[in-house]
A and B are shown apart, each in its own frame.
Chain A
Amino acid sequence: MKPIISVRNLVVEYEERRVLDGINLDIEAGETMVLLGGSGSGKSTLLRHIIGLESPKSGSVLVKGTDITRCSPAELKAVRRSIGVAFQSAALFNSLSVKDNVALTLREHTALAPSIIDLVVWMKLAVVGLEDFGTLYPQELSGGMKKRGAVARALALDPEILVLDEPSAGLDPIVAAELDELILLLKQTFQMTVIVVTHELPSAFRIADRIAMLHQGVFRSIGTKDEVKASRDPYVRHFLDRVPENMASAPAVAAYFEKYLHTQEAQE
């Protein structure tokens, strides 16, 4: 089966610093792919290329057969209408109420009557459990509610692909678990392809069909949950077993302070 998203030899550089180093990834329609990795591993950068917000140095990203790194603005717009994105910061428009945030794409991209739009908005808010909070503004919501509002907005046009950037970052474990269940429910109900960027292991193993683990711009492991768990790659093992890599050693800290004191004394 042809993948719905196909990343080929993607190279991304920021001021000559290579962030993604020729990576390849296929995401099948209807699966939940979790992009796992530590901070600065390049997973959010990969996500921004998958949704066409940035252009790579080389390589291609095919979404539903369209290479979004080389297509026309009109083609990119058409592809984007089939993708719903919930950003890490939720990025709800602060000047609009939650229901207006959800209604925005419906008003802009469909010819639905206002009463139908209201109904669709209410349904989307009900899916994420915010049906009683539609009239509130983003600044009046808690962190978890904002993220759920962002998911509702991403679902507005019934996208084929749902992209979630760090959905559980900064949330307490109960709210994070609620969001995981919501993602599972959405996938089960709407049969959509879900891409989730996260570094939260419990969340990743709860929701993923497959996991791609990124480290220093390359994939260290791509496979099912069991395949990733069984990986022998040293970084994957460190990550899964929570082994610290760059730990400050007590003697090194003591030596630093000793050297600093000597320098101060010499200056006096």
Chain B
Amino acid sequence: MAGPAGGCEIIVRMSRNTFIAVAIVLAISAAVAGAWFAAHLGAPQLPEHARVLSTPRPVPDVPGVDHTGTAFGRADLEGRWTIAFFGFTYCPDICPATLHVLAGARRLLDDLPDGDRPEVVMLSVDPGRDTPERLAEYVPFFHPEFRGVTFEAQHLPELARAFGAAYAYSALGEDGYTVDHTASLFLVDHQARVAAVFPTPHTAEGIATDLRRIIKLETAR
């Protein structure tokens, strides 16, 4: 008698086990699918490299002149995204490298609508040598829409402070001096506030991906 009863019990237990197993598989599949959809479709993702500031810092309205000789001020930053960085034209290594990478990033973002496509601005930390004419010979070479801006020396500290950037002059070579400067890129939001910082090293793909993510995050906010 023990035989048939035991067999039945086994069948019942097995089907219960199978049911539990199927339930586990289904639950895990659902969780994985949910995570995949969240990551790939709906929910905005955090940028990989850029640091989004919890409290964006307003850019002060200090007067500058761009490479076309046009006045540049805070109003030029309002109502659009701007990638700004500090550099100078007598910089042979890191500034052209940054400009080249930014040109690549900008091309990767060509599909964005006008309102989202970032303007790229090099803020010169070398008022002594970077005249608008000199910037005109240099900055648009990397991308025709890039803007170079020079400021009077007296205004630079206030500007740099707002960005959390540093610069300093050091004697070097026959050309007299070089400028040490923060190599990070800064994302300025539609309210002319520093909203995110991209630390070095920079790649065109990294910048473009993070910028898309930040725009999505800000739009969802």
Tell me if chain B binds chain A: no
**Chain A residues packing against B (C-beta within 8 Å):** none
Residues of B within 8 A of A (CB): none
